[in-house]
Amino acid sequence: MTVNCVWEHNGNDTLLYASDLLGAYTRGKSLDVAAEKMEQEVLSYLRWSGEALPSSVRVQIIQEKASDLQICDADSDVLFDTERAKLSMEEYAKYKALALKSAVDFLTLYHSIPNRDAFSAPRRETFYGAVPRTANEMYEHTKRVNAYYFGEIGVDADNEGSIFECRLRGFETLQAQTDFLSNPVVEGSYGEEWSLRQLVRRFLWHDRIHANGMWRMATELFGRELIADPFCFACDR
């Protein structure tokens, strides 16, 4: 399987995205390190999404973005070239279903954790403040991007209720707009370009980052037997 990847980097720090698998990504201190991790990420992602597994994975870079952002902390502003095209209703329905499945699975993982105020990592600061350490902090942080992400493409959304409920309402508000599938590229906050395709990818990517962190923290503290693994992070570990 050839995985088309977008390479975003700041010096050697790398975020590598599988452009055809919305939200699948790896990080590394170099492109080589991130590329070496891609096979495990692809297998995990395909198990999660219910797709067939390949016998091997080969990385192919199709786009590169040099950035001034803190890539090592997963700060990103890349818009994929493939995220500029219009969507069909079939594509949109698939993307929306993945974004909502991701929200449901995030809740499943979160609710499986016996003590959601426990933590194992020392306090660390990044560009957006303190890194969430507890399951509660990770959940609230992940949910709170809902209004921000939808707002970047001109959709009035909120963060009320569960991560699934507020995300679903956002999509329903989006669908009430005329010609929402036209997928215009718009300038959002901080001069960053956004599109509907990118919004869905960012939801899945952001969920995956913090679900992975939550799963690793929870399994370290409580063991794998108690913790749900809906994102299939343990597929090859």
Model confidence at 125, in pLDDT bands (50, 70, 90)?
Answer: low
| Residue 188 DSSP SS3 | coil
Lowest-confidence pick of 90-99, 119-128, 162-171, 197-206: 119-128
Lowest-confidence pick of 87-101, 177-191, 203-217: 177-191
Contacts of 175 (CB under 8 A, 6+ apart): none
Give the angle 64-43-1 at the CA atoms, nearest 5°: 60
Architecture of domain 2-78: 2-Layer Sandwich (3.30)
Average pLDDT over residues 24-28: 96
Q: What is the pLDDT of residue 71?
A: 83
Amino acid (one-letter) located at 159: N
Q: What is the pLDDT of residue 237?
A: 53
Say which residue the tokens 């794998």 belong to: 224
**pTM for the model:** 0.94
> What residues does each domain of the chain span?
2-78, 83-222
Architecture of domain 83-222: Up-down Bundle (1.20)
The full DSSP string for 34-69 is HHHHHHHHHHHHHHHHTPPPPS--EEEEEEEEE-SS
